[in-house]
Structure 1
Amino acid sequence: MELMAIPAGYTFACQPANISWNKPLKDMLRKNWLRNSRSSVPFKLKAPTRHELIGWTKAAWKSLSITVVLTGFSKAQIIPKSSHSSQLNENDHRLLNIEPDWELLNTLLDKISVVRHVVDPSRDIDTSASNRLESSS
């Protein structure tokens, strides 16, 4: 694993979801949660079931258009802006296969002197021991 410090003003490039689709997604989830809480007995809130949460999440994600998702990636400069024109056909899934230019990204990051830290695998957290404890309980 290689850790890189992101320079001030560049975090947007790592967060296409925050730029474009997190708010509409969370708004839809909140709408469903409020609808569920109104149907509960007053002052006795009942947590939604896992099945309900999965349904809300699936519906919220399906409510987002491909254009909204692509807008986040283009605003983060991960894909070119021309990839999602106003003429975009919602069923045009080939746009989802656009691979970022990783070599260009590394070159740009090198130019702005990004500090890189490589994690020594021998010092990494070993989760296998905790997994064994959980499975034996």
Structure 2
Amino acid sequence: MAHQGASGALNYGKAKLRRKLINGAPVFSEHVEDALFEYLERERSAGRAVSNRILSEEAVKIANSMQFGNFIASSHYINRWKQRAFRSSANSLRRRNGYTLYNMANMDQTMVRIDNPANRTNNVVGKSTIRIVNTGCARRGFTVCLAAYATGHKLPAFIIFKEQSGKIPARALQAFAYQAPIHKTQAATNAFEEYDTDVLYVPAGCTSILQPADVYWNKPFKSTLQCLWEQYMREEARTPKGNLKKLSRQHVLDFVAEAWAAVPEETVARSFKGCGISNVLDDSEHSDLHSRLADVGAVVPDHDGVQAECCDLFFATDSEESFDGFESD
């Protein structure tokens, strides 16, 4: 193994080898990543917090001990490592349970403002102040939960107006959820067990690459919402006092339903493949991955179940503050 590492450094050169490692290319990373998972398992089993910085330092130590030269475990490498781990765990669940497209779902909650004006507008040159009218509800919002299956079938949007917690209730069914404390409460865990549901948490900071909703659904959904709001504003409905009339809850419900219906089922189905969740397991559909995920590198298979166990420890932290640099999207 030492000979392979030395050969790699010699053939690729420092700059090229560094680029290949950071881009997730399978030069010799499988051995480093397996050892890094084992280290993570030991540390978390002992109850110690493991930050990105600690993982980076340990990865460099492991690479040096294996005589792999010119290895830099940057923050990009660690993020890509987490992304590969997520896909590996998803593939392991599919192999073990024989899941079909009807068994895989993604659910995401997103904040929506009642006033939804555009961020840009055309205007006459020379004006010092650019104003876009609204109904005075710019700070008022509500939570929308979107869920869909890998087949492309969309579930009705789940809307929550003002509540004490401002979070999606734990009773809501989730199959793939992003890293947020509400998804790991005991009530949510009990609900998953009751519905015989396996939950795979998307690593914090990786939702913009791994979560179908973030990558494919939210932009067209919110774009349609904005268009509907602009149409409403052009109608200029007024109150008896002459002020612009605020949207009613029924307006909000109708807008959300219409915007969600406007997201094509083909886009939803493609999102699961683009995020590497529903692709065939022989990696023949690698070309279906979206460009940012395709650069992550090959998915390393499980070795004695280490990855699945460590992923559960790694992505189920009790406190996000103990993970330096793991901010959620």
TM-score computed with the length of structure 1 as normaliser: 0.52
Q: In the alignment, is residue 72 of structure 1 matched against residue 271 of structure 2?
A: yes
Asked if 2 retains the 8 angstrom alpha-carbon contact of 1:5 and 1:116, the reply is no
Match of 2:245 in 1: 46
Q: CA deviation at 1:66?
A: 1.1
Q: In the alignment, is residue 19 of structure 1 matched against residue 215 of structure 2?
A: yes
Which gives a bigger RCO, structure 1 or 2 (Cα 8 Å, sep 6+)? 1
Q: CA deviation at 1:71?
A: 1.9
Match of 2:203 in 1: 6
Q: Which amino acid counterpart does residue 80 of structure 1 have in structure 2?
A: N
More helix by share: 1
Match of 2:310 in 1: 110
Identity score, percent: 21
Report the count of equivalent residues: 94
Q: CA deviation at 1:108?
A: 5.6
Moved over 4 A (4+): none
Q: Give 3-state SS (helix, strand or coil) of 2:317's partner.
A: strand
Larger CA Rg, structure 1 vs 2 = 2
How far apart, in 1, do the equivalents of 2:263 and 2:251 lie?
19
Q: CA deviation at 1:107?
A: 3.1
How far apart, in 2, do the equivalents of 1:44 and 1:25 lie?
28
How far apart, in 2, do the equivalents of 1:49 and 1:63 lie?
21
Q: Deviations over 1:52-107 (max 9, x none)?
A: 1111111111111111112222222121176xx9xxxxxxxxxxxxxxxxxx7x83
1:31–1:107 CA distance, 2 compared to 1 (3 A): same
How far apart, in 2, do the equivalents of 1:25 and 1:35 lie?
16
Superposed, which structure 2 residues align to 1:83-94 within 5 Å? none
How far apart, in 2, do the equivalents of 1:114 and 1:80 lie?
24
Match of 1:89 in 2: none
How far apart, in 1, do the equivalents of 2:234 and 2:202 lie?
45
Match of 1:61 in 2: 260
Q: Which amino acid counterpart does residue 46 of structure 1 have in structure 2?
A: K
1:109–1:23 CA distance, 2 compared to 1 (3 A): farther
How far apart, in 1, do the equivalents of 2:271 and 2:227 lie?
23
Moved more, 71-80 or 21-30: 71-80
Q: Which amino acid counterpart does residue 73 of structure 1 have in structure 2?
A: F
How far apart, in 1, do the equivalents of 2:270 and 2:202 lie?
25
1:66–1:115 CA distance, 2 compared to 1 (3 A): closer
How far apart, in 1, do the equivalents of 2:264 and 2:252 lie?
21
How far apart, in 2, do the equivalents of 1:64 and 1:54 lie?
16
CA RMSD in angstroms comes to: 3.5
How far apart, in 1, do the equivalents of 2:262 and 2:234 lie?
22
